Structure formats: C-alpha cells, structure tokens
Amino acid sequence: MRLDNEPVAPDENASPRDAAAIAAIAARIDRPIVLVGLMGVGKSTVGRRLASLLGAEFQDADDAIEDAAQLSVAEIFEQFGEPYFRSGERRVIARLMDDSADHPGGSVIATGGGAFCDDETRALILAKAIAVWIDCDIDTLVQRTGRRNNRPLLQKGDPHEILTRLYQERKGFYGQAPIRINSQNGPHHDTVLAIIEAIDQWL
C-alpha cells in the first residue's frame, strides 16, 4: 500500500501511450542534441538512455577523439596540452553534428566538461544543435568522479576544490545552453524524462 505523499518512480517500461508521446516529440527534433556540463554529471550514461528512448544514435565526443588520435584524453592533455586538445575536440564535435543528418533518428552527443567553454565550439553547438546543460551538486560530482581515475583536471589537487572552482568558472558558459536539467543521485531515467519534457517545451 502506497501513501499519497510517497514518490512514484518512473516506469522504465513506458506504456504505449508514453512511448507514442515520446515518439511524437522525437519526430519534431530536427537537429542533434548535445549534452554539456561538468565531468561526472552523467552525460554519457544519460545520453545513451536518451538516445535509446528517442530512437537516435548516441555519440561520445571523448571516445571519438580518442579513436581519431589513438590516444586517451589524458595522454593528449599530457603530451600536447589543453589548447591542442580543444582544437581537435571542436573538429570532432562538428563532424559528429554533421553526421547526425545521416541517421534517421538523429544523434545525441555527450561532450567533455570543457567543450562548451570554448567560444568557437559553443557557438557551433548553439547554432547547429539543441544544447542541454546537465547540472549537479558538487558533492555528488566528487562521489561520481572518484569512481574513475581518468580525469586529467582532477589529478592535481583536492577534487572537491577543483570541481568547485571549475563550476564557478564554467557555469556562465553552461548557462548559455537553452535547456538546463538538474541531475542528482536519483535514477538516470528521471533525468532522461526531464530532458525530453524540456525539449518538448522548447521546440
């Protein structure tokens, strides 16, 4: 028995009516969806689930960069520096957005945490895609990023302090995305549904 004030978890198996509503929204989307935000907010995990619900292709920009360079993001940073990485990142994101037209359902693209802070990359995304800022509190980000040891910007100090500084430096850039969604420690499915609803209202 459920009390009236208890939260109801979203149904992972959407009813035909819900699936039809999502399909109708997907049919109105005429450009790629690009997820932006700090490392650890869940862009890749949420992006995969979002693409699946919308019938779109999922692309991870960092994975595409590593495939093109045959080096990890950390290795590119270490060997060539951040400006070199950002230039290559911009070219890869531009290619992924252009390729979106080749897929019937379009594309959902997850970007690295600093991509949207580059003026040229941000202008490109805002002109050609639907930018979605996935926001999250710092404590949750520290917990999530601590599970992986491949974050170059977190290797040189206290992660909480670094993430707090990065958030303050970058929130003005992220805030230029037309859609902002808060992602906390709840199910990623909640974030996915919130993004779809926000896109529906924005279109």
Residues paired with 172 in a beta bridge: none
C-alpha 68: how far from chain center: 20
What pTM did the predictor assign?
0.86
Q: How is domain 31-42+69-198 classified at the architecture level of CATH?
A: 3-Layer(aba) Sandwich (3.40)
Alpha carbons 118 and 15: distance in angstroms, whole number = 41
Q: Are 116 and 163 in contact (CB under 8 A)?
A: no
Domain boundaries, the chain: 31-42+69-198
Sheet with strand 57-60: strands edge to edge:
57-60, 107-110, 33-36, 130-135, 179-182
pLDDT digits (tens, 9 = 90+) for 24-72: 999 999 999 999 999 889 899 999 999 999 999 999 999 999 999 999 9
pLDDT digits (tens, 9 = 90+) for 65-84: 999 999 998 899 889 998 99
pLDDT digits (tens, 9 = 90+) for 114-130: 999 999 999 999 999 99
